[in-house]
Each structure stands twice: as C-alpha cells, then as structure tokens.
Chains A and B, each alone.
Chain A
Amino acid sequence: MDASASLPATAGHHDPHAHAGEHEHHELGWWRKYIFSTDHKVIGIQYGLCGLVFLFFGFSLMMIMRWQLAYPGQALPVIGKWLPYFFGPNTMPDGKMTPEFYNSLGAMHGTIMIFLGVVPVAFAAFGNFVVPLQIGAPDMTFPKVNAASFWAFGVGGVIMLTSFFVPGGAAKGGWTSYVPLSDIADKGPGFHPFLNGQTLWLLGFIFLITSSLLGAVNFITTIIQLRAKGLTWMRLPFFVWSQFVTAFLLLLAFPPLEAAIVMQLMDRTAATSFFLPAGMIVNGAPLHISGGGSPILWQHLFWFLGHPEVYVLILPAFGIVAEILANNSRKPLWGYKSLVFSVLVIGFLSFVVWAHHMWLTGMGSTVSAFFQTTTLLISIPSVIILSAFFISLWGGSIRFTVPMLWATAFLPMFGIGGLTGIPLAFNSADLYLHDTYYIIAHFHYIVAPGTIFGLFAGIYYWYPKATGRVMNEFWGKVHFWPSLICMNVIFLPMFLQGMLGMHRRWYDGGQGWTLSGEHIWGLTGFQWNTPISWAAWIMGLAQIPFIINFFWSIKHGKKVNDNPWEATTLEWTAPSPPPHGNFVTIPIAYRGPYEYSLPGREKDFTMQNEPVEPAERSRRAVEPVLVH
C-alpha cells in the first residue's frame, strides 16, 4: 500500500495482525480509507491540512489588505493586475483596491482565520488526532459522526469561499456581521437574492456551527467514556483537559449564535424585522419592513458565542504548550491541580462576560458593573495558567527543540496579549480604545504569536507520531525566528496607533484621523503602516520553509522511533504512525502524565503506562511531592 503524497500513511498497513480485540479484516477502498474515513487520525489530518490551507489563504487576504494600508490608493504591483481575474473585475480596477473589496478582505480574513483556520486546527485537528491516543482509546466514541462533522466543515468552507465569486463579492460587514448593515447589505440591483456574499456567509456559518457541535459531542463523550484503565481525571494530560473544556464552550455557546444567524437569514430572505427598527431609511427611501426589531439583540446573541469563542481559540494552545514545556524541561508541570481548576473556571466564567464587547451600546451602570466584574475575574485564572507555565520552567533541564522554541515564545506573547486586555475590561477605558488598532493588537497578540505559535509547536511536536519522521530542525528554526520578530514588528506599533485613536476597518489606513499625524518613535501613526506591512509580507515569506519542510519530511525526513522526544504520555506508546485501532496492546495507566526526572531512575522520564514497582511505592512514600 502506498501513501499518497499529501496524507501520511496511517490506517491499516502497520502491524496488521497485532490488534487488541476483535477486528474485521476487510481492506477498505482508497475513498473509504483516505477521503471518507471514520478513523480519528485520518480525520484529524484532514482537518489539519484543510485548516492550514485556510490559514494561509486568510493570511494572504490580509497581506493584500496591508498594501492598501501602507500605500493607500496606489496600484498593487504585479499581483494587482491578475487579482481581478481571481476575485472579480470590480475589486481592484487598475490594481487599486476599492473600499468594498477592502471591507470584504477584512470580514473574510477574520472569519476564515477564526472559523476555518484556528478552530479546525487547534480543536478539531489536534484534538481528533491526539486525544484518543493520549487517553488510550481505539478511536472516538462516534466515528461516523466524526466524519460527518468534517464534511459539514468542508461544505461550510466551500460555501464561504464561493462567496468571493458571486456578484458583489464576499461579505463586507466584518466577521461580527453587525446589524442593521448586514441585514441590508448585498441587496438590490446587481445582487442575487440568495447567492450574495452576506447570505452565503450566513449559510456557510450554519454548516460550520453544525460541524463544531457534532465534534464537541464526540470529544466530550470520548474523554468521559474511553479513558484507559487507570487513567483517572487527575491523571489526564493537561492537553486533554483543555480540549474537554473547549468542547463544552463550543457545545453550549454556539447555538444562540446559530439562532441569531437563522434570524438574520430570515431578515434577509423573508422580509422579517428581527434586527431592524422602525423608520429605517436606506439610500433615501424608507424600508418597507414591519420594524419592531432590535440591533442590540444581534450583538447580545453574537457575543454570547463570541466571547467563549476566544477561549476556544486559546485553550487548545494552552494544552499544547503545557505538554511541550513539560517534555522539554524534563520536569513535571508545576501546579497541575491549579491548572485544571483554572481552566474549568475560565470555561464557566467565559459565558457571563460577553457584554464587554458591547461597552459602547449604551449600557447602564448596573449591567456594565456586572460585566466589568466578571471580566476582571476571568483574568485571574488566565494569569494562574500563564504563571504556572513560567514556574514550570524553573529549575528545568531545558532543551530548545523546535517545538520548545515555539512554546517558550508563546509565553511572553500571550502575556502581552492578555495583559493589554485588562484596560479593555473597564468600560471607561474602552470608550476610547474600542474599535481602534489597540484592539486589533490586543487580540492578535493572543491569537497570532499566541495560539498560532502554539499550533506550530504542536505540528513540529506530533509530526513524528503521525508520520514516523521528524521535520527538519534547521528549517524549523528558519521558520521560527523571522516569524517571532515579524509578529512583534507588526503588532507592537498597533497598540500605539490605537492609542492615537486610529480606527480599525478604515480603508484609508487612518489618514482621515488627525491624530494619526502625531509622531511616535519617529514615525506618524499613519506612517507606521509601512513597516507593519513589510513585516507582514516578510512573515508570509517565512512560512514558505515551513510548507516545504512539512511536505518534504513526509517522505524524506529523518526516521525516528515511536518516542523521539522521550515523552511520558500515552500517545507515545503507540507505533508511529498508529494503525487502525491505535495500540498494539491496550494501555493501562499507572501514574500521572508528567513523570519526568523521577529520582533513582536510569532514564529521566517514565511513561504513564509503566507499572509502579513495590520498591518505588515505598520510595514514593518518602517523596510525596511528585506528580498528582
């Protein structure tokens, strides 16, 4: 059996006879094995590859936007001539970007990066591939539902991409799709009643939400029911805990947004007025609607998901970083119980903080005091988690493998992102900072040099488990250093631009704002757009070694054994790549997940499935400080 170029061989051809339990020995056809597979590893890789493609596409959208911000009104050289062939003739006439196209790029950059990029990779890809292996399970509890979840994601993604090519182009109302603008946008002459950007955005979203809900059910049930013998809750790797909480966030927070999306679809196609107040005048003429709707209602229902969504974006990265920090400092994670408790509290509180995205909607002091309080409270467990990570490094025997580079860089980057969020918890400070570049800098620090660095760390880390080979270390470093430097050149000045009052989503790069003529560090607010844009383009180039390394190493990477990082968790007891059914013998967990550097042992790591010897037991009685 030969592995196709883009999918590493996973199912069926390693150890076909050494399976635990009964197994029907029928060979699946190519389509059932690689495309419509129900195996969690194949599905995880499918999510991962699609997600990475979407991440790169969404990133490219931003790179195009950055031209307009640095050189507003100027024709984009070379690419500007053939982009209209791709996106439509009205998008960039003479290579110069129209405001509508800028808005489409902005809205779709956000939507694609979050829902087609980060969530599928962080939650679905890593979760699907790693979680069953880490808990010693043969697969997810509902393999067919798992496949359905992936294909729903696929359909949603295709619909979103198609929206670029319909008359009028893709959605333009921001990834937040605020009403009443999004209710009335993309309508009228030149637009199709159903096949327009905004309506397709809504439709695609329904499929993406369905995909996430199905995935969440699968993850939660699997973690509850299929943990191996001896793998108690407090012996779970922190990665599994973070995926568990993430799944609950998706399960319970997405549906109200789905309800709101159905309502917006009704507003757009069935002439309802869920979000349209009476007396609206559009293009000089009153709208023929019943009125009686409420624009704020959309914001409530959107942000009810929107806030837990940002925790969906960060928690898997926390999990990945935790695994890699412990592994590469050769000591247990510090404060495992605090970490678990914190991630549960974050999950809980994230449902009651959402209105801090709505400080400017005219909330009274009672309701805003409530949300300010909960928002400040939720920063506490986040700080606990970050602190525990930092402390975990103390006294460790640190080795800077490529995954460790990304994981250690994550820590201060997330720190900056998180801490810059604190002023935003106060509605007084946010009155000024809302919708400025400060906000963009804040959340990008968390997601970009935060989560995405975590995702890169995870890819380099678990690549050998999926393929049996490591990615090239030198090129991994070539990928890392420019990415780290560029991320900071891009986003650090944006804080200052925001404090100058420069508005987000403005097509002119902030020129229309007087304060953007003020100087910071030698450049005006507007002039900073230029180095930021160049850093973005260089960062785009820095991803090329990664892409080449990723595909080249599948066939030509250095072959390694089943546990090249000498890690302790259960996935490293399986063959690389694991066969269908995952384990040659079903593992039993005897100890915690981070038993590194146990005293009196030859190796500096002890795997979770290694039995506890009587001699060790009495020694452990003397030194109870070890892993919980």
Chain B
Amino acid sequence: MNNPPDISQDPAEHEEYAHNVQKHVRGYLTVGALLLAFTGITVALSYVDFGTRKANIGVAMLVATLKAGMVAAIFMHLAAEKRLIYRVLIFTGFFVLALFWLTYLAWYNPVVR
C-alpha cells in the first residue's frame, strides 16, 4: 500500500488522486476492525492458562506487538515510508531493546543475590 503521492495544488490531479485515497480508506477501516477484534482476543487469552505466568505474558506481548505493528504499518504509513525514517526507527528500536536487555542482564547476573 503506497503512501499517497506528493501532489501539487493542481485540481485536475486531485480527481485521480482522491480516487486512490478511497482505496486506502477501506484498508483503514479493515485494520480498525482487526484491532478491535484482537483486543477482544487479548482479553480472552489472558483468562486461558498457558502454564506459567511467563508464558501468558509472552502470548499477550505477541498479540500486542501484532496490533502495534498494524497501527504502525497502516495507520502511520510506515509500510510505505522512506528509508530515512526506517533507519531512525531501527536505531531507536535497537537502543530501547539494549536498555531493556542490559538492565535485565544486570538484574539477572548480580555478584550475589
């Protein structure tokens, strides 16, 4: 799904362009419905016993990541965004994961507990 192209003020271009955006609108509504459905799924799954609490957390985070991915890719147009934005976000993602992982590692690996 492409980002609506950069357009000038020329009204003639708008006709064709407006038609393009219509297709996107359907996509937005679909994703919206999916997000609502997945919310319900998240809640339902939280009452299912997956064994350990950790497993439940894992499942919930997986569903949340899926929902977040849809919001980012479709609503925030990331799926069709320029390389530069990707690069910024990939570095950000790396650093936030480093923050999570390294603080966890420090907690997990003390001299004595």
Direct contact between the two chains A and B in their complex (CB within 8 A): yes
Q: Which residues of A contact B (CB under 8 A)?
A: 224, 248, 252, 256, 296-297, 300, 304, 348, 351-352, 355, 358, 361-367, 370-371
A364:B103 contact, CB within 8 angstroms: no
- Checking B95, B102, B107 against A252 with a beta-carbon cut-off of 8 angstroms, the contacting residue is B95
A364:B102 contact, CB within 8 angstroms: no
Bound CA span A366–B95, Å: 20
B109:A366 contact, CB within 8 angstroms: yes
Bound CA span A292–B25, Å: 48
Q: Which residues of B contact A (CB under 8 A)?
A: 84, 91-92, 95, 98-99, 102-103, 105-112
A352:B109 contact, CB within 8 angstroms: no
Find the A residue at minimum CB distance from B109: A364
Known pairs A252-B92, A362-B110, A363-B111; A370 contacts B105 (CB<8 A): yes
Which residues of the other chain, B, contact A248 by a CB distance below 8 angstroms? Answer: 91
Find the B residue at minimum CB distance from A220: B88
Bound CA span A367–B103, Å: 9
Which residues of the other chain, B, contact A297 by a CB distance below 8 angstroms? Answer: 103
B111:A362 contact, CB within 8 angstroms: yes
Bound CA span A361–B111, Å: 9
B99:A256 contact, CB within 8 angstroms: yes
Which residues of the other chain, B, contact A365 by a CB distance below 8 angstroms? Answer: 109
A363:B98 contact, CB within 8 angstroms: no
Which residues of the other chain, B, contact A364 by a CB distance below 8 angstroms? Answer: 109-111
Bound CA span A352–B106, Å: 13
Q: Is the interface of B mostly helix, strand, loop or mixed?
A: helix
**9 residue pairs A–B, Cβ–Cβ below 8 Å:** A248-B91, A296-B106, A351-B95, A362-B110, A363-B106, A364-B109, A365-B109, A366-B109, A371-B102
B109:A304 contact, CB within 8 angstroms: no
B98:A367 contact, CB within 8 angstroms: no
Bound CA span A358–B110, Å: 12
Q: Which residue of B102, B107, B110, B112 has the most chain A CB atoms within 10 A of its CB atom?
A: B102
A300:B84 contact, CB within 8 angstroms: no
Q: Is the interface of A mostly helix, strand, loop or mixed?
A: helix
Find the B residue at minimum CB distance from A362: B111
Which residues of the other chain, A, contact B111 by a CB distance below 8 angstroms? Answer: 362-364
- Checking A256, A348, A363 against B110 with a beta-carbon cut-off of 8 angstroms, the contacting residue is A363
Which residues of the other chain, B, contact A296 by a CB distance below 8 angstroms? Answer: 106-107
Bound CA span A92–B112, Å: 44
Bound CA span A598–B103, Å: 52
Which residues of the other chain, A, contact B84 by a CB distance below 8 angstroms? Answer: 224
- Checking B102, B107, B110 against A352 with a beta-carbon cut-off of 8 angstroms, the contacting residue is B102
Bound CA span A261–B95, Å: 20
Bound CA span A363–B109, Å: 7
Bound CA span A232–B106, Å: 42
B105:A352 contact, CB within 8 angstroms: no
Which residues of the other chain, A, contact B103 by a CB distance below 8 angstroms? Answer: 297, 300
Chain B: minimal CB distance from A577 (Å): 33
Which residues of the other chain, A, contact B105 by a CB distance below 8 angstroms? Answer: 366-367, 370
B102:A355 contact, CB within 8 angstroms: yes
Find the B residue at minimum CB distance from A347: B91
B98:A362 contact, CB within 8 angstroms: no
- Checking B91, B92, B102, B112 against A367 with a beta-carbon cut-off of 8 angstroms, the contacting residue is B102
Which residues of the other chain, B, contact A300 by a CB distance below 8 angstroms? Answer: 103, 106
Bound CA span A361–B112, Å: 11
Bound CA span A355–B108, Å: 14
Bound CA span A370–B92, Å: 20
Extra pairs beyond A252-B91, A361-B106 (8, CB < 8 Å)? A296-B107, A297-B103, A355-B102, A363-B106, A363-B111, A367-B102, A367-B108, A370-B102
B106:A367 contact, CB within 8 angstroms: yes
Find the B residue at minimum CB distance from A371: B102
Chain A: minimal CB distance from B54 (Å): 20
Which residues of the other chain, B, contact A370 by a CB distance below 8 angstroms? Answer: 102, 105
Which residues of the other chain, A, contact B109 by a CB distance below 8 angstroms? Answer: 363-367
Which residues of the other chain, A, contact B112 by a CB distance below 8 angstroms? Answer: 362
Which residues of the other chain, B, contact A351 by a CB distance below 8 angstroms? Answer: 95, 98
Chain A: minimal CB distance from B27 (Å): 29
Chain B: minimal CB distance from A237 (Å): 21
Bound CA span A364–B108, Å: 9
Q: Which residue of A296, A297, A351 has the most chain B CB atoms within 10 A of its CB atom?
A: A351
Bound CA span A612–B37, Å: 63
Which residues of the other chain, A, contact B102 by a CB distance below 8 angstroms? Answer: 352, 355, 367, 370-371
Find the A residue at minimum CB distance from B112: A362
Bound CA span A366–B106, Å: 9
Bound CA span A295–B98, Å: 20
Which residues of the other chain, B, contact A304 by a CB distance below 8 angstroms? Answer: 99
Chain A: minimal CB distance from B110 (Å): 5
Which residues of the other chain, A, contact B107 by a CB distance below 8 angstroms? Answer: 296
Bound CA span A51–B106, Å: 37
Bound CA span A355–B103, Å: 9
Chain A: minimal CB distance from B33 (Å): 33
Find the B residue at minimum CB distance from A348: B91
User: Which 8 residue pairs spanning A and B have beta carbons closest together?
Assistant: A364-B109, A362-B111, A366-B109, A367-B109, A367-B105, A300-B103, A351-B95, A367-B106
